[in-house]
Amino acid sequence: MSFKDKVIYQAYTKSFNDTDGNGLGDLKGVTEKLPYLEKVGIDMVWLNPFYPSPQNDNGHHLADYTATYPTYGTMEDLEEMIAEGEKHGIQFMLDLVLNHTSTDHEWFQKALAGDKKYQDYYILREAPEGQELPTNWESKFGGSAWNQFGDTNKYYLCLYDKTQADLNWRNPEVREEAAKVVRFWMDKGVKGFRFDVINVIGKDEELVNSTGNIEQEKRLYTDKPIVHDYLQELNRNSFGQDPEIITVGEMSSTTIESSIGYSHPDNDELTMVFSFHHLKVDYEDGEKWSKTDFDFLELKKIMNDWQIGLGENGGWNALFWNNHDQPRVVNRFGDAENYREKSATNQAHILHFMQGTPYIYMGEEIGMTDPGFTEMDQYVDIESINAYKNLEDKGLPHDEIMDILASKSRDNSRIPIQWNAEAHAGFTDGEPWLQVADNYPEINVEKELESGEIFPYYQKLIQLRKEREVIRTGRYVPMFLEHEQVWAYRRIAEDEEIITFANFYGEPLSLDISQEVEEGHWTYLFGNYGNKDFNKVLELEPYEAISFERKK
Ligand code: GLC
């Protein structure tokens, strides 16, 4: 099976399934749910970090790359999970954070203690004369990107939290350590790697001030050409040795051009890329911590550009609406209140008929929603807590800030998955580390399996992808680009073609497709309102999505 045939499921380990009652999900919990995951129909599970970490950023800064954190389980639990996975046809993708380590990592601690070898593992600089800090760069989680290195006159770079110290990839020893880490997990039978913010590993030797404009600043350390060299080297020295392995790079503020480079098979870098531009269409003037309507035309344009940009140039997209850093897309671009099921299936339909590898974020397959937290003490996420302080400093009233957090916080998707209607949604017998959503008695896996419409919809979408070459590899050609309510496109293969129409809103509409689609032998393939005949004028219900096919 090629990576083009696969569908990947993301489990936020900490919130997936707790088997020992400590309120945190664990590896045994993943093993326990393998039959469920098999039922969804997915091929691989991407597990968010379960390694030793002080957890300031929930595990996205490792204190040890080749161990498990005891609260998540032991190495034996992991081996068992992989072995059991095999029986269910499920492989595993690990989340590796190679741009930075935790400041608790032995390397950083040795560096602090004065060990020169390990000091060269990090990016340490003095402030030039006349400046307080080495550069004026901002950390992505707020504040300066530099923090004092012990009691020296040096500073270490931390593009994220101050407990996440950026590694010095210019040092060949660091690159060899990274390859060693990947090989360690390959030996355990891991068949996939998701590389956290991997396109910011290539910092220049000389770091310079930005103009203060955040977009210009990001260009100073993002997508530098040398990232390609580092990825090729890592590929050669580790995962490239096993053709079965799938890799995906999380690409922060990347471009289509760079992403073709990262994912083109001839370059021997990665299998595919995550990009995020489509999830910024509800930012006001590029500011995440704002509340504004999403821009539908922009959303379509971005997805189309990436479909065509990568599709026509040998790159490969990772397709996704949700992940652990994003609020639920049903709330964002759908209508979670009045049309939860239909918006969930509509969004799934649009994504799963595209070219690329679909990722399903846990709970998406049952239409989980944002929990609508109203109190600050319900939030755990460091980025959200920092955002509160920043917005408060800017003078925003408390209620307004809470409103913004409720729509943008990463905790929206990090809440435990809702398994059933029992206490804490069946996630744990203890106290969950993050509160579950109040709606779990109505929205949960058990209920969805009995009578829901979203779960079977996902199953069918996955099945269709497996059956039809055109869904996997057909050309993507958009239609109705300027239509303010409809998302439509063709997928074209040599002997088969599929056309998809989706009403992205809650008002019904009639769509005259005669100018765009020639008549002839189109038959109904799949849709969230059931079978309909092909017609020159399509009547689309609220959040309806429908596809027709024809053989050539
Ligand atoms: C990635 C992760 C995110 C984390 C950040 C820093 O964006 O997905 O959760 O906070 O990297 O590691």
Ligand 1 atom index nearest CA of 99: 12
Residue whose pair of structure tokens reads 């530099």 in the numeric block: 146
CB 273 within 8 A of CB 281: no
Q: Is the CB of 166 under 6 A from ligand 1?
A: no
Quick: pLDDT tens for 7-30: 999 999 999 999 999 999 999 999
Kindly state the average pLDDT of the residues 529-551: 96
Round the CA-based radius of gyration of the chain to a whole number and report it.
23
In angstroms, what is the span from residue 550 Cα to ligand 1's centroid?
43
Single out the residue of 158, 167, 156 nearest to residue 195, CA to CA.
167
DSSP 492: E
Which pLDDT does position 116 carry in this prediction? Answer: 98
Per-residue pLDDT tens digits for 201-223: 999 999 999 999 999 999 999 99
Average pLDDT over residues 347-352: 98
Report, as an integer, the average pLDDT of 332-348: 98
Q: What pLDDT score was predicted for residue 118? A: 98
Enumerate residues 6+ apart whose C-beta is below 8 A from 157.
Answer: 122, 123, 124, 125, 134, 137, 145, 146, 165, 166, 203, 207
Residue type, 429: D
What ligand 1 atom has the least distance to the C-alpha of 160?
6
What does the pLDDT read at residue 364?
98
Instruction: Decide: pTM greater than 0.85.
Output: yes
Distance 100 CA to ligand 1 centre (A): 10
Write the pLDDT tens digit of every residue in 81-105. Answer: 999 999 999 999 999 999 999 999 9
- pLDDT tens, residue by residue, 48-76: 999 999 988 888 989 999 999 999 999 99
Q: Does the beta carbon of 197 lie inside 6 Å of ligand 1?
A: yes
Residue 504 is predicted with a pLDDT of 98
Alpha carbon distance 456, 247 (integer Å):
28
Ligand 1 within 6 A of CB of 14? no
- Ligand 1 center–CA 488 separation, angstroms: 32
Rounded to the nearest whole angstrom, what is the distance from the C-alpha of residue 16 to the centroid of ligand 1? Answer: 18
Cα 324 from Cα 95, distance rounded (Å): 12
User: In this prediction, what percent of the chain has a pLDDT beyond 70?
Assistant: 100
Contact 90, 82 (CB under 8 A): no
Buried b (16+ CB within 10 A) or exposed e, 106-144: ebbeebbeeeeebbebbbbbeeeeeeebbbbbbbbbbeb
Cβ 196 under 6 angstroms from ligand 1? yes
Question: With helix as H, strand as E and coil as C, how does 261-286 read?
Answer: HHHCHHHCCCCEEECCHHHHCCCECC
Query: Once rounded to an integer, what is the mean pLDDT over residues 448-464?
Result: 98
The three-point CA angle 214-215-216 to 5° equals 90
Catalytic residues, by residue number, are 196, 250
**CB-based contact 363:384 (threshold 8 Å):** no
pLDDT range class, residue 398, cuts 50, 70, 90 = very high
Percent of the chain's residues with pLDDT above 90: 97
Determine whether the shortest distance from the Cβ of 95 to ligand 1 is under 6 A: no
Query: Buried (b) or exposed (e) across 432-445, using 16+ Cβ within 10 A?
Result: bbbbbbebbeebbb
Ligand 1 center from residue 379 Cα (angstroms): 17
In tens, the pLDDT along 460-500 reads: 999 999 999 999 999 999 999 999 999 999 999 999 999 99
Q: What is the average pLDDT score of the chain?
A: 97
What is the distance between the alpha carbons of residues 156 and 171, in angstroms, rounded to a whole number? 15
Of residues 319, 419, 300, the one with CA closest to residue 360: 319
pLDDT tens digits along 408-442: 999 999 999 999 999 999 999 999 999 999 999 99
Task: Tell me the CA distances in angstroms from 258 to 3, 261, 275, 289, 416, one per residue in order.
Answer: 21, 5, 11, 27, 35
pLDDT of 520: 79
pLDDT value of position 250: 98
If one residue of 160, 323, 324, 359 were mutated to test the ligand 1 pocket, choosing by the most ligand atoms within 8 A of its CB, it would be 160
Position 552 pLDDT exceeds 90: no
Q: How many helices (H) and strands (E) does the chain have?
A: 18, 20
Q: Each residue of 166-215: pLDDT tens digit? A: 999 999 999 999 999 999 999 999 999 999 999 999 999 999 999 999 99
Q: Is the pLDDT of residue 519 over 90?
A: no
Q: Which atom of ligand 1 is nearest to the CA of 325?
A: 9
Q: What is the mean pLDDT of residues 438-455?
A: 98
Rounded Cα–Cα distance for residues 253 and 57 (Å): 20
Whole-number Å distance between alpha carbons of 481 and 175: 44
- Contact residues for 287 (Cβ-Cβ < 8 A; gap 6+): none
How much is the average pLDDT of 306-327?
Answer: 98
Q: Is 57 in the pocket of ligand 1 (CB under 6 A)?
A: yes
Looking at the predicted structure, is the pLDDT value of residue 3 above 80? Answer: yes
Has residue 310 got a pLDDT over 80?
yes
